[in-house]
A and B are shown apart, each in its own frame.
Chain A
Amino acid sequence: MMNLGVPTLLMLACTLAAQPIPARPELLPVQPLVFKAPRARDFKVTLRNGIPAFIVPDPEGQPIVRVKVLYRGGSYLDPAGKEGLAALFGNQIRRGGTEVTPVDELDERLAFLAAGVHGRCGATSGSLSLEVLEKDLETGLAAFMEVLTRPAFAQASLDLARQDQLQALAKRNDSANSISGYQFGYLLRGESHFASAQATQASLARITREDLRAFHARILHPANLVVTASGPIDPRAFKAVLDRTVGALKPGREARVSPPVPAPTFTRTPGLYLCGKAGPQSVVALAVPGLRRGDPDWPAAMLMEEILGGGGVSSRLMKRLRNDEGLTYGVSTRLEPGTFWKGDLLCRFQTKNRSVAYALRLVLEEVEKLKREPVGEQEFSVARDGLIQAFPSRFSDAESVAGLFAGQNLNGQPEDYFLDFRERLRSVTRDQVREAARKYLDMTRMVLLVVGDVEAVRQGDAKDHPGRLGEGLGLPVTVLPLRDPSTLRPLP
């Protein structure tokens, strides 16, 4: 049982067989289920050197212990011309062996224990994690600390990882999806901002062992770190274990507190962009500016987005494009939480080339409807109650609870954000949802990218659903060149 203050439900033992089955599911009796959201402060400790740690015990869980050190740092620190450095570091801190144990021996020892030590590094944060059977904790933790503090970044491993990356780069134009990935980033944030910058053959070639070593030396500052631990552990005893290991880290000479994450400065040009890729289907992606999670509008915007396209098959876009028209397997929206700058409201779908113009028209119609008419009570309550009732599932296991708190801590978000999350949703009105649609679904600011057979997209579905792409929007249409997969320079 995870000690999350969850009273187990008392089911009423009824004499069931005798009861008739109600005619409709709404007529079923419902016992109340009380769920209190776990509080970060109940799991948080501060290690000797000031590193915050979230220790979430799971006394009835399996005999597996997990420890993770998360750090603030990532590709936002990549120097210009060395794009791909942080990502390589994330994997090489583990794959490059340590000063005392060559990587093959390290792999072999951990594999024999069926233990795992894994490194990864993303755009703004990275982590090193340990997963080990309880009986091997001491050995596993020793290996973990060795990797964390004394990585060797062996040249042979770096060369192999680089080759791996180069092979991945070579596949950039192999599918409309992957083309859409890099082109859309450029349209939204330009080519130089870290969130859309891409590694090239040249930038990977410039990255040296010394770069990896320096990145490591810089990151390993207690002020950049957060720790999580979960499993069948005693919080007090485990704090002592962490104090002996991660808690004993001191900043080295080259250690630096990671700077704030920079927001993009790029000015977008709203419009419709087309990029050619032969195939039966186009990948369509669009974005309009959104907001940040801390904004007072957030709960209303969240419900608005849930109703529009975030709520899976119940959403309006899914009903219209998939159920009514059979145009797509899936259409979804996402409201970026805007962790470091205002996020976007994104929408994605794939449909046969000829149907793109029609499908887009339907998306825009649904957007207009949401702005024009108040949402129905039924639809509104499905979205709101769904989010409220499914709330406990966010805390379904010790590892995710620890991870949730650590992530908020690392990103400088308030640690009690989820405590009154359900109350905030309950206070949203249907009018506020419409207001959020009017405020944030400004389609004149839309950036839309279609990757597919440009000619078929332009022609549209002349026979069954005539109409040109983006008709009536008044946005310019631009054809983007494909880029060379290795250099990312536009192809002639």
Chain B
Amino acid sequence: MFVQPFLRFAALLAAPLLAQSIPVTEHTLSNGMRVLLVERHQRPSVACGWVVRAGSANERPGTTGIAHLFEHMMFKGTRTLGTRDAARDAELNRLQDLLQAQIRRELDTLRERLRRGEIADMNDPAVRSPRHQDLLRDFERLATEQRALLEKNELVQIYTRAGATELNADTTSDRTYFHVTVPANRLELWAWLESDRLLNPVFREFYTERDVVMEERRQRVDATAIGVFEERYRSLIWQAHPYHWPIIGWPSDIAQVTREQAQEFFATYYAPNNISAVLVGDFRSRDALAMMERYFGRIPANPAGVPPIVTTEPPQPAPTRLLAEADTGAEVVITFKAVSGLHRDAPALEVLAALLGGQTGRLNRALVRARRSATDVMAWNKGLKYAGTFVVFGVPAGEDRSPEVEAQLLEEIARIQREGVTERELRKVKNRFQMGAFKRLEDDAVLANALAEAEGAGTYRDLLEEPRWLEAVTAADVQRVARKYLVKESMNTLVYSRKSAPAREGK
């Protein structure tokens, strides 16, 4: 066997190796759309994306889930793409909307009957009135006629044929991001297709897509062991702020959202002055900018701008607890209210989370290794656009050890509040952040995503500055934010325990 002696590690406080700054070219189009370009010629492709500053936080009760449903609608085509007869298609959409308005009245009646206890489930086909059933049949007829005219998923097919990959979109509480990677010779195709769907979208197949999203909700939430509890926990943490409802929306709202509401959402938020586009990859910036102006510059701005979110979460007056008996093993989650990701204390909280969590973090040493009370522990800081949370988490080593794990998680936090942290720990986690900054630069799509994410919450400059802010965090900062934010009043605890012997499953 051949083994080299293990070399001593680098001197304790060696000068940090900071990642190079990202060479971003920034430009604002005449209609207010921001464009960020990062030219890199390693690969013959371009990672393209655009982020719209709207997510579930921009919804209101009754239309929860619309931002995400909307993300789906943006793949349904335009006046040019997606149908063989744009005029008849528009007419069929109008007729469907009229029928749906009548169907909603039937549903209003069913809701009333549900309140009176006359029926148990308003979605059970057996409770529909004959008229309701007729309306559904008429609707299906229109949908069938429309389907015969559709060029299904034409947008996707054009992209696929051109060799595009990673075509997708995702919605968070704060923003919606549409992305794709195209071969370097197809950048103009991207500009054509994306500006077309911002300029002339048609939300066809709207009502079927609602059902798709209902199935997505079942798959992600209702049919999982802990989905509905996670949802409840979120609502417990956020009482007033729109973070209160789930991104995918409440089932009742998804089922009843209308195309008219979707149109309004689009007109308000999907305006170029509320969008940033990001390109990372193999192109020439000068040509790309001219192309962007030509394609995206033609989209009219929304002069009214976007209504600000004024609801602020009031200070939490007392800790809360949620005890969940579920089809899952024991878990302890403690969530403190913290700060927005843009807040000047966010970097110190990120450092604190890294110190507590991770393979060599304090929680792992204390709970997993020394005391053997937990098999897994984590800590993370989640700075969203408007507010944020700080979370510690543990998986007890036995079903009955949750109280012990909960106490020890809090004890490790208290220890930092009392004694602070060491310079060595601080250096260790800062080194990890630096590695993260290098890794972010390795992949065009990852970098585009990070820039878009920063634009969605604030500005891309936040991303550029982040390594410097993290490097500047001191031991005193870490102790200060631990004392300031990780306090009893702002604490929300979720304890999972296994539901005792289930009833005979599924008959």
Chain B nearest CB from A272 CB (Å) reads: 15
CA distance A462 to B126 in the complex (A): 10
Assess A482 versus B222: contact at CB under 8 Å? Given A24-B80, A463-B125: no
Q: Are A8 and B443 in contact (CB under 8 A)?
A: no
Taking A61-B442, A249-B1, A326-B215 as contacts, is the C-beta distance between A136 and B44 under 8 angstroms?
no
In chain A, what residue has the closest Cβ to B214? A326
Q: A352 at interface (Cβ–Cβ under 8 A)?
A: yes
B44 touches A392 (CB 8 A): yes
Contact B156 A160, beta carbon cutoff 8 Å: no
Closest to A383 in B: B160
A64, A139, A250: the one within 8 Å of B438 (CB): A64
Residues 200-249 of A contacting B (Cβ, < 8 Å): 245, 248-249
Name the A residues within 8 Å of B284 (CB-CB). Answer: 11, 13
A146 contacts B by Cβ under 8 Å: yes
Within 8 A of A (CB), among B157-202: 157-158, 160-165, 167, 181, 183-186, 188-189, 192-193, 196
Pairwise interchain contact A112-B9, C-beta atoms closer than 8 A: yes
Complex contact A11–B287 (CB within 8 A): yes
Q: Which residues of A contact B225 (CB under 8 A)?
A: 171, 174-175
Q: Among the listed B3, B43, B498, which residue makes an inter-chain contact with A396, where contact means beta carbons less than 8 Å apart?
A: B43
Binary contact readout B491-507 vs A (1 if CB under 8 angstroms, 0 otherwise): 00000001000111111
Interface bits A118-140 vs B (CB < 8 Å: 1, else 0): 00000000000000010110110
Q: Mark B219-246, 1 if CB is under 8 A from A, else 0.
A: 1101111000000000000000000000
B71 at the interface (CB under 8 A from A): no
Verify if A453 is at the interface (C-beta below 8 Å from B): yes
Q: Does A364 contact B (CB under 8 A)?
A: no
Across-interface contacts of A423 in B (CB, < 8 A): none
- Closest CB in chain A relative to B34 CB, distance in Å: 19
Which of B294, B327, B368 interacts with A19 by CB under 8 Å?
A: B294
B215 touches A62 (CB 8 A): no
Q: How far is the CA of A24 from the CA of B192 in the complex (A)?
A: 9
Report chain A residues within 8 Å CB of B359.
107, 111
B84 interfacial by beta-carbon distance below 8 Å: no
Residue from the list B161, B183, B369 in contact with A33, Cβ < 8 A? B183
Chain A neighbourhood of B213, CB < 8 A: 329
CB distance from A9 to the nearest CB of B (A): 4
Please tell me if the beta carbons of B17 and A392 are within 8 angstroms of each other in the complex.
no
When chains A and B are docked, how far (Å) is the Cα of A388 from the Cα of B158? Answer: 14
Collect the chain A residues with CB atoms within 8 Å of residue B160's CB. 311-312, 314, 382-383, 385-386, 390
Asked whether A145 is an interface residue with its Cβ less than 8 Å from the other chain, the reply is yes
Provided the pairs A139-B9, A350-B223 are in contact, do residues A393 and B45 lie with their beta carbons within 8 angstroms? yes
Chain A residue at smallest Cβ distance from B227: A175
Cβ-defined partner of B165 (8 Å) among A24, A113, A313, A393: A393
B375 x A160 contact (CB < 8 A): yes
- Tell yes or no: A28 within 8 A of B by CB: yes
Contact of B205 among A24, A136, A142, A323 (CB under 8 A): A323
Chain B proximity mask over A311-325: 1 for CB below 8 Å, otherwise 0: 111100011001111
Contact (A281, B222) CB under 8 Å given A64-B442, A142-B7:
yes
B468 in the interface (beta carbon within 8 A):
no
Interface residues of B in 418-457 (CB under 8 A from A): 424, 427-428, 431-432, 434-435, 438-439, 441-443
Whether B439 lies near A64 (C-beta < 8 A) is yes
A167 interface contact, C-beta 8 A: yes
Does B397 belong to the interface (CB within 8 Å)?
Answer: yes
Query: For B210, what are the chain A residues with a Cβ–Cβ distance below 8 Å?
Result: 326
Interface membership of B270, Cβ < 8 A: no
List which B133-160 residues lie within 8 A (CB) of chain A. Answer: 147, 152-153, 156-158, 160
* Contact present for B9 and A109 (CB under 8 Å): yes
Count chain A CB atoms within 10 A of each CB in B2, B10, B298, B506 and give the residue with the most.
B506
With A133-B17, A324-B147 as known contacts, state yes or no: A313 contacts B1, CB within 8 Å. Answer: no
Total interface residues on A, CB under 8 Å, equals 113
- The reply on B105 being an interface residue by CB < 8 A is no
A:438-465 near B, CB below 8 Å: 452-455, 461-464
A32 touches B223 (CB 8 A): no
Contacts of A174 in B (CB 8 A): 225, 327-328
The chain A residue sitting closest to B75, CB to CB, is A313
**Counting CB contacts under 8 A, is A419 at the interface?**
no
Using A382-B157, A391-B163 as known contacts, say yes or no to A111 and B432 having CB atoms under 8 A apart. yes
| B311 in contact (CB, < 8 A) | no
With A1-B42, A174-B328 in contact, do A323 and B185 touch (Cβ < 8 Å)?
no
Query: Contact: B219 with A281, CB < 8 Å?
Result: yes
Contact yes or no, A8 B505, CB < 8 A: no
A61 to B147, CA, bound (A): 48
* Shortest distance between the CB of B85 and any CB in chain A (Å): 15
Contact residue among B147, B161, B205, B215 (Cβ-Cβ distance under 8 Å from A385): B161
- Contact among B157, B212, B295 with A322 in the assembled complex (CB-CB below 8 Å): B212
**Best-buried of B188, B214, B424, B434 by chain A (most CB within 10 Å):** B188
A327 at the interface (CB under 8 A from B): yes
B 395-406 to A, binary, CB cutoff 8 A, 1 in contact else 0: 101000000000
List residues of chain B with CB within 8 A of the CB of A429.
none
Q: A176-B223, A325-B208 are in contact. Are A278 and B506 (CB under 8 A)?
A: yes
Q: How far is the CA of A160 from the CA of B290 in the complex (A)?
A: 59
Taking CB atoms, residues of chain A closer than 8 Å to B186 are 30
Quick one: closest B residue to A390, CB to CB? Answer: B163
Binary CB contact string for chain A from 53 to 83 against chain B (1 if under 8 A, 0 otherwise): 0000010111110000000000000000000
B309: shortest Cβ distance to chain A, in Å?
29
Interchain CB contact under 8 A, A63 and B219? no
Q: Kindly identify which residue among B10, B442, B498 contacts A397, using a CB–CB cutoff of 8 Å.
A: B442
With CB as the reference atom, state the residue of chain B lying closest to A353: B506
Asked whether A468 is an interface residue with its Cβ less than 8 Å from the other chain, the reply is no
B208 touching A389 by the CB < 8 A rule? no
B261 at the interface (CB under 8 A from A): no
A141 to chain B, nearest CB (A): 8
Partner of B505, one of A138, A164, A278: A278
Name A171's contact: one of B147, B181, B293, B329 (CB within 8 Å).
B329
- Residue A276 interfacial (CB < 8 Å): yes
Interface presence of B291 (CB below 8 A): yes
Chain A residues contacting B147 (CB-CB under 8 Å) are: 324
What's the Cα separation between A479 and B75 when bound, in Å?
A: 40
Q: Is A2 an interface residue (CB 8 A)?
A: yes
Q: Which residues of B contact A434 (CB under 8 A)?
A: none
Q: Which residue of A lies closest to B46 (CB)?
A: A9
A371 on interface, CB distance cutoff 8 Å: no
Considering only CB atoms, which chain A residue lies closest to B144 in the complex?
A: A324
Across the interface, which residues of B come within 8 angstroms of A383, CB to CB?
A: 160
Q: How far is the CB of B92 from chain A (nearest CB, A)?
A: 15
| Inter-chain contacts of B507 with A (CB < 8 A) | 276, 453-455
Is the CB–CB distance between B294 and A21 below 8 Å?
Answer: yes
Q: When A111-B432, A174-B225 are in contact, do A327 and B211 touch as well, CB less than 8 Å? A: yes
- From the candidates B81, B223, B434, B504, name the one contacting A114 in the complex (CB within 8 A): B434
Q: Which residue of B lies closest to A166 (CB)?
A: B375
CB distance from B181 to the nearest CB of A (A): 7
Whether A396 and B223, one on each chain, are in contact in the complex, defined by CB atoms closer than 8 angstroms, is no
Residues A113 and B9 in contact in the complex (CB < 8 Å), given A145-B3, A352-B215: yes
Inter-subunit contact B17/A149 (CB<8 Å): no
Known: A26-B158, A350-B223; 10 extra A-B contacts, CB below 8 A, are A17-B294, A62-B438, A62-B441, A112-B9, A327-B215, A329-B219, A350-B215, A388-B163, A390-B164, A392-B183
Interface residues of B, Cβ cutoff 8 Å to A: 1-10, 17, 19, 41-45, 75, 80-81, 125-126, 147, 152-153, 156-158, 160-165, 167, 181, 183-186, 188-189, 192-193, 196, 205, 207-216, 218-220, 222-225, 282-284, 286-287, 290-291, 293-295, 298, 327-329, 358-360, 365, 368-369, 372, 375-376, 395, 397, 424, 427-428, 431-432, 434-435, 438-439, 441-443, 498, 502-507
6 shortest interchain CB distances as A-B pairs: A389-B163, A276-B506, A326-B211, A463-B125, A114-B435, A248-B2
A-B contact pairs, 5 of them (CB 8 A): A30-B185, A62-B438, A139-B9, A328-B212, A329-B218
